[in-house]
Amino acid sequence: MKYHERLEQAGDLTGSTNVADEYLWAIERLDDVVTKYPEDGWRLVMELFMLARSDYQLACLASGALEDLLARHGRDLIDRVEQTASMNARFREMLAAVWQNAIADDVWARVKRAVESSGKA
């Protein structure tokens, strides 16, 4: 979060400056966890989701760690994604910023339905 927070404070939403480079290690570690340890990756994404202070930070989390988690481990985690989306409008908004990219078609269809859900079970 600190990496994106620092970019946001500097008005650099593209990461084209080095203003936040001291926190790049955290982005790399997050990617490592999401890739190798899906359960830990899910918990970390949810923790970062709760800590996010802006739409920009949520969008970065969605298009980064959450999207990668769904691409690599979507079939194992989609039930939790759907459940969380059904109970949390803010999570649904973040989920809407995920792009399909390498997410399997069947998982992607469920992501789209979760985004469109109204929060009713």
Q: Indicate whether 103 belongs to any domain.
A: yes
CA 10 – CA 4 distance, rounded (Å): 10
pTM: 0.88
Q: Indicate whether 97 belongs to any domain.
A: yes
Q: Indicate whether 121 belongs to any domain.
A: no
CA 68 – CA 97 distance, rounded (Å): 13
Q: ∠ at Cα 26 (107, 108), nearest 5°?
A: 10
Pair 95, 111: CB distance under 8 Å: yes
Q: Indicate whether 85 belongs to any domain.
A: yes
pLDDT over threshold 70, residue 56: yes
Q: What is the 3-state secondary structure (H, E, C) of 44-78?
A: HHHHHHHHCCCHHHHHHHHHHHHHHHHHHHHHHHH
**Predicted pLDDT at 110:** 98
With a pLDDT cut of 70, the percent of the chain lying above it is 97
Q: Indicate whether 63 belongs to any domain.
A: yes
Counting the structural domains of the chain, the total is 1
Of the two residues 52 and 19, the one the predictor is more confident about is: 52
Which structural domain range is residue 110 located in?
2-116
Q: Indicate whether 47 belongs to any domain.
A: yes
Extract the tokens encoding 96.
């809407």
Task: Tell me the per-residue pLDDT of 75-108, one tens digit each, with 9 for 90 and over.
Answer: 999 999 999 999 999 999 999 999 999 999 999 9
Q: Indicate whether 40 belongs to any domain.
A: yes
CA 89 – CA 72 distance, rounded (Å): 24
Extract the tokens encoding 8.
């946001």
Q: CB count, 10 Å around CB of 27? A: 17
Q: Indicate whether 41 belongs to any domain.
A: yes
Tell me which residue of 88, 90, 85 sits closest to 111, measured CA to CA.
85
